[in-house]
Amino acid sequence: MATTQPQPDILVRPLAETELGEAARIIRVAFGTFLGLPNPERFMGDAECARPRWKADPSAVLAAEHNGRLVGSNFVTKWGSFGFFGPLTVEPEYWNRGVAQMLLGPTMVIFRRWGTRHMGLYTFANSPKHMALYQRFGFWPRDLVAVMAKRVAERPAEVVADAARFSAAAGDERTRVLAACREVTDANFEGLDVGIEIHAVAEQILGETILVWDGEKLAAFAVCHSGAGSEAGSGVCYVKFAAVRPGRRASEAFERLLGAVEAYARSVDAQKVTAGVNLARREAFQAMIARGFRTEMQGVAMETGDAASGYNRAGVYILDDWR
């Protein structure tokens, strides 16, 4: 495969808030064009990822500029000791000019500044071009990732005992809940912390974080987006991240969590629940199939390090997809 030479007059810098609308447009048209949609700018509908991610951490969003024009962007996310990037998108007329490659150099600088010990991304499994680009920066294809969906049942879902919502906690109680969530994620992968996602959902009113307790101990939680302007879009409840405390009751806690998520989805009039799961987390994938989830699309997880250095492995009940 021929190496694309970066266009020399591209400036990579932080993305400004005033550019979020244009960044969102480029995200839509880039993905829509790649997927061959008849109207690329309608990709994602009224879902939004640029603004929520920028507001969560403006210092971790990169822009590519050419002659004063925004032509691409990349969003970098820190989940404690783990980090991922995306969406990385470029205006279609600037494809094959090395713009993505120029965005990736500063992306790796951000990871080094954070001291991230494991990194990943989600990309198209059928695109050797994307994979070859990311391999240059130390990312290698690992497992398929299924983005799954289930219609929300019209009848009331089962009542989940000891289920709660983060929005109901206040003051010091929120601090305790956040610590409990860190305890659950850390038990799956040392240093994993998605507090930034919980804060974003609460502060930007993007949805809700669902909590499932076993007495005083948090058994599981799910960070959910719902509605227009969130990463879900109208009529959808999207599980951005979910995790279960490891142990002999993990499968039971996962079932309870899925039930609580569906109950939340119904309460906000969502017609379906969507969530991503890495297929190396086989038990979680099988449990979702048994509950009625079906795969809508598949991608591939690319990661740094070896297979033992991440949390994509059997016995882990985590939902995410790194898009």
Please, what are the averages of pLDDT over each run of 10 residues along the chain (323 residues)?
64 98 97 93 94 97 97 98 97 96 97 96 92 95 96 75 91 95 97 98 98 96 98 98 97 97 96 97 98 96 83 96 94
163 and 71 together in one domain: no
Q: Looking at residue 161, what is its pLDDT?
A: 73
Q: Looking at residue 309, what is its pLDDT?
A: 76
Q: Is residue 4 part of a domain?
A: no
58 and 179 together in one domain: no
Q: Is residue 231 part of a domain?
A: yes
Amino acid at 310: G
Report yes or no on whether pTM surpasses 0.75: yes
Q: Is residue 32 part of a domain?
A: yes
180 CB-near residues (< 8 Å, 6+ apart): 211, 217, 218, 221
Looking at the 3D structure of the chain, how many domains does it have? 2
Domain range for 83 = 10-116
End-to-end alpha carbon distance in the chain: 26
What is the β-pairing status of strands 163-165 and 207-214? antiparallel
273 and 217 together in one domain: yes
Q: Is residue 128 part of a domain?
A: no
Residue showing tokens 């680009």: 133
Domain end residue (candidates: 116, 132, 164): 116
For the chain, the residue count is 323
15 and 107 together in one domain: yes
By the 8 A CB rule, do 106 and 118 touch?
A: no
Q: Is residue 136 part of a domain?
A: no
Helices 195-204 and 172-188: angle between axes, nearest 10 degrees: 140
Domain end residue (candidates: 70, 92, 116): 116
Q: What is the Cα Rg of the chain in Å?
A: 19
Domain at 82, CATH number:
3.40.630.30
Q: Which two tokens stand for residue 59?
A: 């210092």
Q: Is residue 171 part of a domain?
A: yes
Q: Is residue 130 part of a domain?
A: no
Helices 99-114 and 128-135: angle between axes, nearest 10 degrees: 50
Q: Looking at residue 4, what is its pLDDT?
A: 62
